[in-house]
Chains A and B, each alone.
Chain A
Amino acid sequence: MWTLAPKCLRFTAGMRGKKRVKGSLVTVKNVEKNFGDFHVLKNISLEIKKGEFFSLLGPSGCGKTTLLRIIAGFEDPTSGAVFLDDRNVIPIPANKRPVNTVFQTYALFPHLTIFENVAFPLRLRKVTNNIVKDKVQEFLELVKLPKEGKKLPSQLSGGQKQRVAIARALINEPSVLLLDEPLSALDAKLRQHMLIELDAIHDKIGITFIYVTHDQQEALSVSDRVAVMNEGEVVQIGTPFEIYESPQTPFIAHFIGETNFIKGKVTEILNEKRAMVEFPDLGSSLTVYQDKSLIKGDNVKLTIRPEKIRISTEKPEGLDEKWNVLQGKVDELIYSGFQTKFFIEIGPKRTMFRVFKQHVKFFTDEKAINWKDNVYIWWHNNDGYIVEVEAL
């Protein structure tokens, strides 16, 4: 649906080039879901490749969990279909689909031991005891809980419960694993750790993972591709890199990470990739990178990430015309160890600009920037991105 933004072609960091062939191809075709008059999902179509780690990312209420529940079979779509490989699975009940789910609340059976929780799907299929034993042990080892089999869920920590839930969902060897905000109940450090482990499990098992989350960090760090959803629609599908660097709408730019928006009007087309834009709020004109075939007179919205902007109290020297330089005043600064967040007032309308400065040098090597200081900020015009065009 979305073509690669040309500037992204310069990077390959978004693809994690591992060879995976297991799992199913999941195709979501024109899925709609209404709850009464409320349209939860509006004509969703997606194609998730075999063995892909695919994320559905969006704010709460955007329909991502509903879509997951439709794929799992807990919910029927109002219209549309879901295919696993070439088979429409909508008529197949949840208990017969080759799809398993890791629930947000873990949903471990409190009356069964960890071993029996993981063995549950095998017991249902009346697998003989010896095979059950070996298999459960194998999956408990996969999630690094080989010795906890005899405990009850209430005796485990949140992270351990999550691992058990993953082992239990994987033991049936599904072709697709669905993960519904699996880490949202864990604390930040543990979440990081579990993410890395999920990624490792994915690499080992190699089946298709569909991961639902509202946390952009989670989605960006583990996914092969991300679908950003908002108000029941998919607004962009792409690699984490594409989503972050070339957001297709202001919503995405705003939702993923932090950013600055400035509105302007195109005054001159310099060449295929560059245009001159006047920004009345800043009281100046800047050269901007563009991939939207702008024409003179278009109203545009430019987004520029705070970490891409440099800041100093001294005027930067020796910059060519590809750098945009602005002058402003420090309105607020928040020191947080590895970085400082600056809020800079710029131009006649005192537009607020966020600038993040990473502390990669010794503090003594440069002059400290203080509150109310007059500062210069500058960025390479490749780093700005036009997210919205309103033609005249």
Chain B
Amino acid sequence: MKKNYGPFYVAPVTVWLACFFVIPISIIVYYSFLTKGINGGVIHKLSLDAFRALYNPTIFQITINTFQVAILATVIMVSFAIPASYFMARSRFKNFFLLLVIIPFWTNFLIRIYAWMAILGNNGIFNNILLSTGIINNHIQFLYNTNAVILVTIYTYLPFAILPLYSTIEKFDFSLLEAARDLGATKWKAMASILLPNIRGGITTAVLFTFIPAFGSYAIPQIIGGTNSYMLGNVIARELTVTRNWPLASSISMVLTVFTTLGVLLFMRFNRSATESARGQKQKTVAAGAKA
């Protein structure tokens, strides 16, 4: 008889996810329904205080801000990444370009953020160049605002958009573009009507890979952003470490998770319905075939 090794194969990942995903998330959910301790921590007494505290214009404003930053950064990243990956995939030096995309990962994430301070700071390289060439007389405040946060977010997560797009575009059959041109399409029309629909999977992955980390961003707004560019991640950290309101930190975390999940589901739903309208006929013919 054939032995079923399935459970054996999935055991490690099950244990891993249980320990480091399910249990922590459950703790967060549980804590959000508890009462805050006087000096931090929690008192194991059920309460909805943490959720009442969410009804707060500041948190609402920060949620909106977080969405804005994440969406804007994602849109810019993906629209940069599509032409960049197309160029890489068609280049003779694709491996070299791939290496260039990966090189930043060899340096610590925080160090790279601090490097941006050295570049954009008031005494940074950029200001010094502008001052010494006489283009400006006083230094410009580049850092500590939302634009700086968006810029560094794009810098940090752009490879996560390029890599999935590159691998999709590399598999794309470029003779399709030639066929489209042969049949009368201009270069741009061929790209829009043939390339984009066929790399939809790569675009979806790129959007998810960049939106999720950008939405949950903490270090970048903490270091590069000012008080007006706080994001949800920073509020959570403040509630946890400074204000020491653990239930509130937990409830905001839940908001973050729910919004991320909702965003992803909505996006995938939208994406699938677009694909379905193109492939709807396939479903029908398959169904008809099954009936027959």
Most buried by B among A95, A113, A172: A95
Chain A positions within 8 Å of B279 at CB level:
111, 152
Using an 8 Å CB-CB cutoff, how does the interface string of A157-171 with B read, 1 for contact, 0 for none? 000000000001100
Chain A positions within 8 Å of B282 at CB level:
113, 151-152, 155
Q: Is A103 an interface residue (CB 8 A)?
A: yes
Chain A positions within 8 Å of B197 at CB level:
111
Using an 8 Å CB-CB cutoff, how does the interface string of A60-79 with B read, 1 for contact, 0 for none? 00000000000011100000
Q: Which residue of A lies closest to B279 (CB)?
A: A152
146-171 of chain B: CB within 8 A of chain A: none
Chain A positions within 8 Å of B180 at CB level:
109, 120
Q: CA–CA, A103 to B189, complex, Å?
A: 20
- On whether the beta carbons of B285 and A74 are closer than 8 Å, the reply is no
- On whether the beta carbons of B278 and A168 are closer than 8 Å, the reply is no
CB-CB under 8 A for A152 and B182, given A105-B175, A107-B176, A109-B194: no
CB distance from B186 to the nearest CB of A (A): 6
Q: Is B59 an interface residue (CB 8 A)?
A: no
Chain A positions within 8 Å of B183 at CB level:
95, 100, 120-121, 124, 168-169, 172
- On whether the beta carbons of A124 and B184 are closer than 8 Å, the reply is yes
Q: CA–CA, A390 to B197, complex, Å?
A: 61
Chain B positions within 8 Å of A150 at CB level:
281, 284-285
Q: Which residue of B lies closest to A74 (CB)?
A: B178
Chain B positions within 8 Å of A103 at CB level:
175, 178-179
**In-complex Cβ contact of B176 among A94, A100, A109, A125 (8 A):** A109
Q: Which residue of A lies closest to B288 (CB)?
A: A150
Chain A positions within 8 Å of B281 at CB level:
113, 150-152
CB distance from B199 to the nearest CB of A (A): 10
**In-complex Cβ contact of A124 among B179, B189, B200 (8 A):** B189
CB distance from B198 to the nearest CB of A (A): 6
- On whether the beta carbons of A94 and B181 are closer than 8 Å, the reply is yes
Chain B positions within 8 Å of A125 at CB level:
184
159-190 of chain A: CB within 8 A of chain B: 168-169, 172
Using an 8 Å CB-CB cutoff, how does the interface string of A103-138 with B read, 1 for contact, 0 for none? 101010111110000001100110000000000000
- On whether the beta carbons of B175 and A121 are closer than 8 Å, the reply is no
- On whether the beta carbons of B184 and A95 are closer than 8 Å, the reply is yes
Q: CA–CA, A113 to B282, complex, Å?
A: 8
CB distance from A392 to the nearest CB of B (A): 52
CB-CB under 8 A for A107 and B185, given A112-B278, A152-B279, A152-B282: no
CB-CB under 8 A for A121 and B184, given A150-B285, A151-B285: yes
Q: Is A101 an interface residue (CB 8 A)?
A: yes
- On whether the beta carbons of B179 and A95 are closer than 8 Å, the reply is no
Chain A positions within 8 Å of B285 at CB level:
150-151, 155
Q: Which residue of B lies closest to A178 (CB)?
A: B182
Chain A positions within 8 Å of B278 at CB level:
111-112
Q: CA–CA, A124 to B187, complex, Å?
A: 12
CB-CB under 8 A for A107 and B284, given A95-B184, A95-B185, A124-B185: no
- On whether the beta carbons of B178 and A107 are closer than 8 Å, the reply is yes
- On whether the beta carbons of B189 and A100 are closer than 8 Å, the reply is no
Chain A positions within 8 Å of B176 at CB level:
107, 109-110
CB-CB under 8 A for A172 and B184, given A105-B175, A107-B178, A111-B278: yes
Q: CA–CA, A72 to B180, complex, Å?
A: 12
Q: CA–CA, A93 to B183, complex, Å?
A: 12
- On whether the beta carbons of B198 and A111 are closer than 8 Å, the reply is yes
Most buried by A among B180, B184, B189, B284: B184
Chain B positions within 8 Å of A121 at CB level:
183-184
- On whether the beta carbons of B186 and A110 are closer than 8 Å, the reply is no
Chain B positions within 8 Å of A172 at CB level:
183-184
Chain B positions within 8 Å of A120 at CB level:
180, 183, 185
Q: CA–CA, A71 to B175, complex, Å?
A: 16
Most buried by A among B178, B183, B185, B278: B183
Q: Which residue of A lies closest to B187 (CB)?
A: A95
Q: CA–CA, A109 to B279, complex, Å?
A: 12
CB distance from B80 to the nearest CB of A (A): 24
Q: CA–CA, A125 to B184, complex, Å?
A: 8
Q: Which residue of A lies closest to B194 (CB)?
A: A109
Using an 8 Å CB-CB cutoff, how does the interface string of B10-40 with A read, 1 for contact, 0 for none? 0000000000000000000000000000000
- On whether the beta carbons of B181 and A107 are closer than 8 Å, the reply is no
**In-complex Cβ contact of B173 among A95, A107, A112 (8 A):** A107
Q: CA–CA, A168 to B185, complex, Å?
A: 13
180-220 of chain B: CB within 8 A of chain A: 180-186, 189, 194, 197-198, 200
CB distance from A16 to the nearest CB of B (A): 28
Q: Which residue of A lies closest to B286 (CB)?
A: A155
Using an 8 Å CB-CB cutoff, how does the interface string of B255-292 with A read, 1 for contact, 0 for none? 00000000000000000000000110110110000000
CB distance from A103 to the nearest CB of B (A): 6
CB distance from A153 to the nearest CB of B (A): 11
Using an 8 Å CB-CB cutoff, how does the interface string of A79-109 with B read, 1 for contact, 0 for none? 0000000000000011110011101010101
What residues of chain B have their CB less than 8 Å away from a CB belonging to chain A?
A: 173, 175-176, 178-186, 189, 194, 197-198, 200, 278-279, 281-282, 284-285
**8 A-B pairs with C-beta separation under 8 A:** A94-B181, A95-B183, A100-B182, A100-B183, A105-B175, A110-B198, A151-B281, A169-B183
A113-B281, A120-B185, A150-B281 given. 11 additional CB < 8 A pairs?
Answer: A72-B182, A73-B182, A74-B178, A93-B181, A94-B182, A95-B185, A103-B179, A107-B176, A107-B178, A109-B198, A120-B183
What residues of chain A have their CB less than 8 Å away from a CB belonging to chain B?
A: 72-74, 93-96, 99-101, 103, 105, 107, 109-113, 120-121, 124-125, 150-152, 155, 168-169, 172
